[in-house]
Structure 1
Amino acid sequence: MSEFKRISPEQAQALREQGAVVVDIRDPQAFGGGHIQGAQHLDNHSVADFIRQADLDAPTVVVCYHGNSSQSAAAYLVGQGFSDVYSLDGGFELWHSTYPDAIAQGQPE
């Protein structure tokens, strides 16, 4: 079984440009206040649907607040059959300071 990889914002940006899926596991209020453009919000209620509909081989970047919780979530996705999973080191906080123009706002759908 593969393992997830920890990556920097710069590496995550390169993956985004190549079409990687970005999932944000922060709470809905934090997501609504700002998230990486194109990110999908995932929580305990939506993760099962996400897994059912996902391309398990697509690069998937997991984002949390500071890069800690995303490691557990990334490991979980690997355990569910995802083959190319990344945890964003520094989380959304580091992303926001690195790429302030790549932030979107709005509540999860």
Structure 2
Amino acid sequence: MRETTIDQLAAVLDQGAAVVDVREPAEFREGHVPGAINIPMGQLFARLGEIDRNRSVHMVCASGNRSSAMTDALAASGFDAVNVVGGTNAWIRSGRPIEK
């Protein structure tokens, strides 16, 4: 599984990186990485058409556990998926901005 840090994510966000947040909608509404789209883990496979297969997709959750499992699943389905280590909690702890 490919992994990235929040510092690396911040750098590629400026270049328009795709970010999928697999947390539940209530968690997502409380604050998320800017530009992330919310596709809860339980809905991911039903909504694969919303993810561009032609570019890397950075997977995020609260701490990196759920996104790690979904990164593996997407990679097995042919996506260039990257897990964000530490997830949204690490993003927030770093002092980076969030969207609500």
The alignment's TM-score, normalised by the length of structure 2, stands at 0.88
Give the match's secondary structure for 1:22.
Answer: strand
Q: Kindly, what percent of the aligned residue pairs are identical?
A: 30
Match of 2:94 among 95, 98, 107: 98
> Shift of the alpha carbon at 1:70?
0.8
Match of 1:87 among 79, 83, 89: 83
Segments of structure 1 that go 5 or more residues without pairing to the other structure are none
Question: For 1:2-13, what aligned pairs fall within 5 Å after superposition?
Answer: 4-13=1-10
Match of 1:37 among 28, 34, 37: 34
Amino acid at match of 2:92: H
Segments of structure 2 that go 5 or more residues without pairing to the other structure are none
| Count of residues in Structure 1 that have an aligned counterpart in Structure 2 | 99
> Shift of the alpha carbon at 1:45?
3.1
> Shift of the alpha carbon at 1:47?
4.1
What is the alpha-carbon root mean square deviation over aligned residues? 1.5
Aligned to 1:62: 59
Alignment of 1:78 onto 2:75: yes
Aligned counterparts of 1:68 and 1:11: Cα–Cα separation in 2: 18
Aligned counterparts of 1:9 and 1:100: Cα–Cα separation in 2: 9
Amino acid at match of 2:83: S
